[in-house]
Amino acid sequence: MTQALDQLLLSSSKRPEVVTDFQNLVDEEVSSKKGASGLALKGVYGTVKALKSGIIHDAVDSLLDDFVARLQPFYADFQSAGSPTFGDYLSGRSDEVADALLGVTDERAGRSQRKTVKNGYEKLRPQAKKHVEEAVPRVGALIEKHTA
């Protein structure tokens, strides 16, 4: 029987730890970026964080339900596929996973009333898929940590 990710990750007892771990993952992913696109990403990320203390935590928390819903089909397939780890499974589908996750942020950015956030997102979106694809193995590992 396939376990539902929302039941495993979004309970009131589990959610705070999951949100904190994903916030840390985002911070680490951004800080690891190199080159001109990495510098641009770090600049926008720093600006967004400076706008409001806790904005990244709040953003992760508000996006988590939608991200989990988008990842559920991958998780269900992983459970029946017999892949060694969820990170490995997702790595083989990083293109699809990135599209699924970016679909959530694209929708949210499109509805945002914050011009700075919207402009920053639009500026970074062309490179976002590559960055999300690079983060996919760590996303899988983090989910596996919380579903073990």
Domain assignments of the chain as residue spans, ordered by start: 11-147
Quote the CA–CA distance of 139 and 142 in Å, as a whole number. 5
| pLDDT at position 74 | 95
- Residue 127 pLDDT: 83
Q: Is residue 61 over pLDDT 90?
A: yes
Crossing angle of helices 115-147 and 94-111, rounded to 10°: 140
Mean pLDDT, rounded, for 16-25: 97
Residue 80's pLDDT band (cuts 50, 70, 90):
confident
Q: What is the mean pLDDT of the chain?
A: 90
Q: Which residues contact 95 (CB under 8 A, 6 or more apart)?
A: 129, 133
